[in-house]
Structure 1
């Protein structure tokens, strides 16, 4: 499945258990030449507290707490409204024609909720990373189920995100690594966004990145809710009011179904 070109393999183990997912298996399945290929692997399992549980593995094998695009894909697959368990907290799904709306919960701004390595104002962080021309400076940090740092720039396309993204992702300031967002204002309710995802690199879209960036822009007074966020793969609509939960709406689609022999990848 995919959401705006951010693609997933979805394994449904809600009724029939599968062998244990490991980083080795996830990495092998993620290889686009010798495996199946994906940005993230989504594993659906039974939950003791909610209708079911969604686990997410990046293409490098690391397990992460949340994925907005995957949540829309799962809503479409499930076919009806549900509240599900994720590593980043419960989220509510509602399938729509051609996509879904997801309540991603309440964003967190505390330094230790991101988390950062030491206390710091997350509204305008007094840090920066040099580039060949200028620097990325004074970002905002937001946790929307997973951690994001957001830079507002004049032109998101001009930032060499493939070069500076890995540096920021692995900076010791972020003990659990970080998703890196660069955005520019395109209108009073419109942002353009590119994202370097921890453990996956550049992808065509990032749902949690769109949520975090819209929240950051609203907090800074750059845009008004709801916000249209344009990513390389297309548009998402993010609605948020301070103190409330984040509502994300956008497309999702099934690409194909298939089978594989688990032993080939273990």
Structure 2
């Protein structure tokens, strides 16, 4: 199975999974790049996977369904246009013609009902986990998003993470402010800067390496705690408090 990034809007990625002549798309906020790729490659759309309800992830669904009435899988706790199968934690998706099964993970925080799809060492996590960062908290709580990130971080180290925005360089700049002495972070920054200079995506990325350079996955590390306490102006007594302080700092960074 091949996985193709289809750029959309300013910094979105619509992920297209292709096997033989079939395709599955994840979070199609815009139908145009999907329709163009399907036509150029002679592919048939088999299904649509949706992680959450924001328009830049759902805006293209209606137009794609007008071309082909395929199954649309979306979070059970959110209103997804065109959704034919509401999914939640523990559900397993088997799409006809696609070998890989996907397990659904509930990962609220960015939105109230956000889900992720995991299978074949592939993780499609929407706006929950980003390269060197995480999503903003719009409908959930810091405790929810922290727990969701912990759930994702517990997946195997060789998991390839497919998030839906190219936010990596700005996230790395923030991570460097949190941990200026992190050598893994410095190496990653240089590598990602070279990728973007060549107009190449920084996504996907390996989950194991992510744990070494993403401050939101490192809230129990002494340097991260110390820097978060400086920003918070006082002691922080739990990983959730450290996470909340980091997320608030990132909001205004």
What's the TM-score, normalizing by structure 1? 0.27
More strand by share: 1
- TM score, norm. by length of structure 2: 0.27
**Higher share in helix:** 2
Q: Which has the higher contact order (CA 8 A, sep 6+)?
A: 1
